[in-house]
Amino acid sequence: MKRWILGAVAATALMAAPVQSFAETTIRVTLQLPEKHSLGQNWLAFKKIVEEKSGGDLQIQLFPSAQLFKDKEVPGAVGSGAVEAGSVFIGRFAGSVPTVDVVSIPFIFDSEAHVRAAVAPDSAMRKELDTAILKETNNKVLWWQAYGLNVYLGKDAPIVEPGDIKGKKVRTYGKIQGWTVEALGGAPTLMSGSKQFLAYQQGAVDVGMTGVSGVKSRKLYEVMDHLTLTFDSAIEFVAIMNKDVYEGLSDANKKIIEDAAREVEQNLRDQIFSQQAQAVEEARGQMNVIELTAEQRAAWAKATASIVDRFVKETGDAGASAVKAVKAAM
């Protein structure tokens, strides 16, 4: 019996040991969304390339649907080495690198082409932000993951005019989104994506902010009735890796990861707008979809015009430089 107990204890200890103690080339990835979501599929594509080109020397292990960490915990978890890699909304770095929120300023982008140019891997904005994230948080940005454009969700009434937000509790997912709601007269409620469904179902908030793909993957159409295509800001995630883990790889494996990152970033960005259009069409059968007229969009832009000035005032020269880099990409 004593020998059985010792064996059981040893087995339990082995199961509890970190994955990396068994294989230094295993890279665990924490994801907020299901594997079937475009961001999950993006990581699966990365996994396939990396494992094939490394001959199995690098293994990618995915943990989707916030199994390991909530989104707000991801920068710290990856930066500390609690997990080797992950995906996170870029706004989660705003505490350490406030300028990352430049992409969330409403109506700072005027087209898909503008977004593409501003966030391209070698763009001035990317160089500034990726370098700052690495320096301040020990997270190496492997690639940016396009999520789509921001939309609003309504339950009892549609959101059409900027004034429709006034007095409403609104689910937000970042600081700038909160400022936007405040500018519109609403009350922002910061909430992780995984908590949306219950919050809408239980009436904890009146209005939602999210991306169209999230409406489908999280089945938000079951608890919200109206979808307003404001498309006022870009939602960007970043695929990150612990700097020390990355630096510990061989030069050959670093190149495999960098090449794969470039490939899957481009593929996702090429796919995301067509997927967004498809998701909108699918939503039409489940929700009341509102497309803004040019005049209505102008009204929204005017109502939120103060956000860029507030951003520059809070972030100083670095923020002004980030805004300049975005505008220069037009």
* pLDDT tens-digit map of 307-323: 999 999 999 999 999 99
Contact 181, 96 (CB under 8 A): no
Does residue 13 carry a pLDDT above 60? no
At 7 the pLDDT is 38
For residues 30 and 24, what is the distance between their CA atoms, to the nearest angstrom? 17
Mean pLDDT for the stretch of residues 89-114: 94
Mean pLDDT for the stretch of residues 44-69: 96
| pTM as predicted | 0.84
**How do residues 134-173 score in pLDDT, each as one tens digit?**
999 999 999 999 999 999 999 989 999 999 999 999 999 9
Task: Give 196-202's long-range contacts (Cβ < 8 A, gap of 24+).
Answer: 196/171, 196/220, 197/222, 197/223, 199/171, 200/153, 200/155, 200/171, 200/224
| Percent of residues, the chain, with pLDDT higher than 90 | 82
At 11 the pLDDT is 34
Q: Six-digit token pair at 41? A: 């599929």
At 313 the pLDDT is 97
Q: How confident is the model at residue 24 (pLDDT cuts 50, 70, 90)?
A: low
Mean pLDDT for the stretch of residues 51-80: 96
